[in-house]
Structure 1
Amino acid sequence: MEKFSVLMSVYKNEKAEYMKLALESIYTEQILKPNEIVLVQDGPLTKELYELINKYKEKYKGILKIVSLKKNMGLGNALNIGLKKCSYEIVARMDTDDIAFPERFEKQIPYISKNKELGVLGSSLLEFEGTKDNILAEKKAPIKNIDKYIKFRNPINHPTVVFRKSEVLAVGSYKEINLFEDYYLWARMYMNNSKIENLGDVLLYFRSSIETYERRGGWKYVRAECSLQKEFFKINLINLSEYIRNIIIRNLGKIVPNRIRKIIYLELLR
């Protein structure tokens, strides 16, 4: 079986209890275990997080590799730094507050290893609040017509992704485009002829909350969306009419009240 890395980034606002569940889910509880876990400490952390990380450095000795940043650099920059520290070509992403299904890597790693032309592989996920038994919605990943889908919506659930390190680095890795670092990365990889696919399986519990939907709205998010669409137009992912359509349609849900935005994301976009 091809060796692979898991790439994670943590910052001070993370809860230690959530991170513990995430770490256990990607190693202790995984059927196919990663050969290394690269954890970027994005700036100073809390006492509770340091204590947890030290505990797991011992528990996952030789597996958990720590990369410490003196100040908070933001997710995109932190992932870029961490990616360079990953030892293997196949890299799986994992957020520090989500929970992976035990069979996640057992299904994803052999698939991407076998399909050498594949650059990015994602899956569907379940959004939950509080405990993983409290499911809010299933976020299905597109299986067909990704060529069309990527022009209008992000085709990959970022916390579920497995990719080839060389193909990510070939397009300059994650770039700072506020709130959309992952979508912009897949778009550039797609335009560089990387093949993008999703498995139909649900392989991750995604932690959600009221703050999740608050972050997806407001004028800051509208400005970020406009910047993203401008970049898509510049790299020829979309044409002028698609650019105008995206600006209008994708921003509608960002300026409505938060309770309505939650309904849109959970009911209409799932």
Structure 2
Amino acid sequence: MRENKYSVLMSVYKNENPKYFKLSIESMINQTLKPNEIVIVKDGALTKELNEIINNFEIKYPNLFTIVNLKNNVGLGKALNEGLKKCKNELVARMDTDDISIDKRCELQIKEFENNNKLSIVGTIIDEFYDKPTDIISSRVVPINHEDILKFSRRRNPFNHPTVMYKKSEVLSCGGYGDYRRNQDFDLFVRMLNSGYVAKNINKSLLLFRANKDNLKRRKSWTKCRSNISMMHDFWKKGYSGLIDLFIVATSQIVVFISPIWLFQWISDTYLRKKY
């Protein structure tokens, strides 16, 4: 018997763009295989516009939405943990509040779980855009099979977080998202892989990722650099990554931090993204 029920998990906070938020929800409602639950975590108090969007969807789609209200802003990882506890289905599809899922995304992911019941995580490639979803600027291509995912994860995140569908019980068995303000997903996925859970990425772009022209500046900030090195150091201490992996990541992060923006742009376009 086909198991086609799944939950969608999203977290929203006050600085989100209402227009983008609405589009992201609509992209999940309009899936060819529709969710029977969408869990939205309000990570602290929201603006009037964001609350109105949620209220309108609740009225239009009764019994579809589960809203989790958090008094204070706790950050993405902790917010997702609270939402995950409320998901009623074993399979949970992550979605960010400013991206757009392709309509067949969840149907194709469900098929992967049906074909291999040992899978715990299924992600996809993403296409990135600035203003118009039809104007793709680049893609983040991730490894497809489990062995390549394991190898890739020694140094870099092998998943595009907004695309993943995973098994709730197995995420929770690994402790859920860690207490990080950044890279919460990378930390979780490494712990799951290190615990023996099996993963796969679909070799298709099934999500349109809303990039920003200031993304490069944020990615080369000292906060981001220090966070990445600290997390890789934790992976090394736990025996997941080797000393060479730690050295390469630490060196590359420092190079990114001290490089002029034009050089980092070249590095990103040449090694980190498939550029169009």
Once residues 177 and 93 of structure 1 are traced to their aligned partners in structure 2, the CA distance between those partners, rounded to angstroms, is 18
Q: What is the RMSD of the two structures over their aligned residues, measured on CA atoms?
A: 1.4
Query: Where does residue 130 of structure 2 map in the other structure?
Result: 129
Q: How many residues align?
A: 269
Of 178, 183, 201, which aligns to 2:181?
178
What pairs with 1:153-192 in structure 2 (closer than 5 Å)?
Answer: 153-192=156-195
| Preserved CA contact (<8 Å) 1:219 1:255 | no
Query: Where does residue 220 of structure 2 map in the other structure?
Result: 217
Query: Where does residue 79 of structure 1 map in the other structure?
Result: 80
| Preserved CA contact (<8 Å) 1:128 1:207 | yes
Query: Where does residue 92 of structure 2 map in the other structure?
Result: 91
1:174 is aligned with what amino acid? Answer: Y
Q: 1:265 to 1:189 in 2, by over 3 A?
A: same
Query: Where does residue 30 of structure 1 map in the other structure?
Result: 31
Instruction: Quote the offset at 1:257 in angstroms.
Output: 3.3
2:240 aligned with 1:237, yes or no? yes
Query: Where does residue 21 of structure 1 map in the other structure?
Result: 23
Q: Which runs of 5+ in 1 are unaligned?
A: none
Q: 1:255 to 1:81 in 2, by over 3 A?
A: farther
Q: Which runs of 5+ in 2 are unaligned?
A: none
Of 7, 10, 13, which aligns to 2:12?
10
| Preserved CA contact (<8 Å) 1:213 1:258 | yes
Provide the secondary structure at the position in 2 that maps to 1:126. strand
Query: Where does residue 143 of structure 2 map in the other structure?
Result: 142
Per-residue deviation, residues 64-108 of structure 1 (Å, max 9, x unmatched): 111011110100000000000000110010001000001101100
Once residues 81 and 152 of structure 1 are traced to their aligned partners in structure 2, the CA distance between those partners, rounded to angstroms, is 28
Deviates more, 1:244-253 or 1:72-81: 244-253
| Preserved CA contact (<8 Å) 1:5 1:35 | yes
Provide the secondary structure at the position in 2 that maps to 1:236. coil
> TM-score, structure 2 length as denominator?
0.93
Instruction: Quote the offset at 1:48 in angstroms.
Output: 0.7
Provide the secondary structure at the position in 1 that maps to 2:68. strand
1:132 is aligned with what amino acid? Answer: P
Once residues 255 and 188 of structure 1 are traced to their aligned partners in structure 2, the CA distance between those partners, rounded to angstroms, is 30
| Preserved CA contact (<8 Å) 2:33 2:104 | yes
Per-residue deviation, residues 112-169 of structure 1 (Å, max 9, x unmatched): 2331111111000100111201211011121142221110111000010001111111
2:178 aligned with 1:203, yes or no? no
Provide the secondary structure at the position in 2 that maps to 1:152. coil
Deviates more, 1:215-224 or 1:152-161: 215-224
Query: Where does residue 197 of structure 2 map in the other structure?
Result: 194
What pairs with 1:30-109 in structure 2 (closer than 5 Å)?
Answer: 30-109=31-110
| Preserved CA contact (<8 Å) 2:155 2:232 | no
| Preserved CA contact (<8 Å) 1:218 1:255 | no
1:180 is aligned with what amino acid? Answer: N
Query: Where does residue 269 of structure 1 map in the other structure?
Result: 272
Once residues 5 and 68 of structure 1 are traced to their aligned partners in structure 2, the CA distance between those partners, rounded to angstroms, is 18
Q: 1:11 to 1:155 in 2, by over 3 A?
A: same
Once residues 109 and 117 of structure 1 are traced to their aligned partners in structure 2, the CA distance between those partners, rounded to angstroms, is 13
| Preserved CA contact (<8 Å) 2:129 2:137 | yes
Instruction: Quote the offset at 1:35 in angstroms.
Output: 1.1
Instruction: Quote the offset at 1:259 in angstroms.
Output: 4.5
Provide the secondary structure at the position in 2 that maps to 1:105. helix
